[in-house]
Amino acid sequence: MQEPDRGAPRPEDRDSGGAGRGGGLLFVAVLLFCAYLALTALAGILRVVAALLLALAAAALLANVLRRR
């Protein structure tokens, strides 16, 4: 009687290569966190742009008032 080869994994024992459900949830969590960081960075940039536009408008109005005097 021949001894079965214990070194070779059976097809049902092999890992499918994926990280499983936990890895998928981790991927979604990291993806959501990166999206949050991107949105907050974009909001910060838009806030700075809006402040600069407001400052330019105020400077233009002030220059217009001073020019009329």
Rounded CA separation 15/24 (Å): 15
Nearest residue to 48 via CA among 38, 60, 56, 37: 56
Full residue range of the structural domain in which residue 58 is found: 41-69
Per-residue pLDDT at 57 exceeds 70: yes
Report the number of distinct structural domains present in the chain: 1
H helices of 1-69, where?
20-68
Query: Is residue 58 situated within a structural domain?
Result: yes
| Residue 22 placed within a domain | no
Residue 51 counted as domain residue: yes
Nearest to 35 by CA among 45, 23, 46, 43: 43
Model pTM score: 0.56
Residue 47 scores a pLDDT above 90: yes
- The pLDDT confidence band at residue 69, using thresholds 50, 70 and 90, is confident
What's the confidence (pLDDT) of residue 22? 78
Tokens of residue 11, six digits: 């097809």
Residue 12: DSSP 8-state: T
Mean pLDDT within 10-30: 74
